[in-house]
Amino acid sequence: MGLFAKKEEFCTICNKGIFHKHKPKRDWNVEGPLCADCYVDVMKKHYEKNNENECVVCGKEPGSFSLWKPKKEWDVKGWLCKTCFDEKEKLDNESKKFCSMCGTKLGFISYSPKKEWGIKGYICKICWNSKN
C-alpha cells in the first residue's frame, strides 16, 4: 500500500528522526530538512552575525527582535530601536500639526510642498499660494 505513509526524514545537522521538518533559509547554506532545535540554533546564529541588528540613529544593539521598521516618509535606511522610533514619530506628528514655513497651526486641510521647493513637512494654504 504505502500511499499515505510518510517516509521518515532525518535532520541534516544532528541526524535525529523528525516528524515535522523545517525548511532552512537560502542564506543559511544548509541543504535538507531541519529539526526544530537545529532550526532555532541556526536562526539565532544567522541573526547574531547580521550587522543590521543595530539602530541606525544611536547605534545601540537591542537585538534583532527589538528593532522597529521606520515609516517610508522618514527617509531612514535601516532599523530603529524603540526609543529612537518613538522620538522620530513624535517629531513627525509635530511636523504634521504646524506649518513648516510660518509655524501657524494647520487646520483640517494641509498642503504637501513640491520636491523642488526643498521644504520638509506640511505647509498652510497661505504659504502654498505664496510659493506657488
pTM: 0.49
In the prediction, which pLDDT does 49 show? Answer: 54
Average pLDDT score over residue span 118-132: 84
Cβ-based neighbour number of residue 1 at 10 Å = 4
Average pLDDT score over residue span 67-95: 85
* Whether residue 102 has pLDDT greater than 70: yes
As given in the structure block, the three cell numbers for residue 24 are 532552512
In the chain, the DSSP E strands lie at 9-10, 17-18
In the prediction, which pLDDT does 59 show? Answer: 80
- As a three-state string, the secondary structure of 15-37 is CCEECCCECCCHHHCCCCCECHH
| Percentage above 90 pLDDT, the chain | 2
Q: Can you spell out the DSSP letters for 90-115?
A: HHHHHHHHB-TTT-PBP-S--BPPPG
Average pLDDT score over residue span 65-78: 81
Which residues have C-beta within 8 Å of that of residue 113, sequence separation ≥ 6? Answer: 100, 119, 121, 122, 123, 128, 131
CA atoms of 114 and 122, how far apart (whole Å): 10
Domain boundaries, the chain: 7-49, 51-97, 99-132
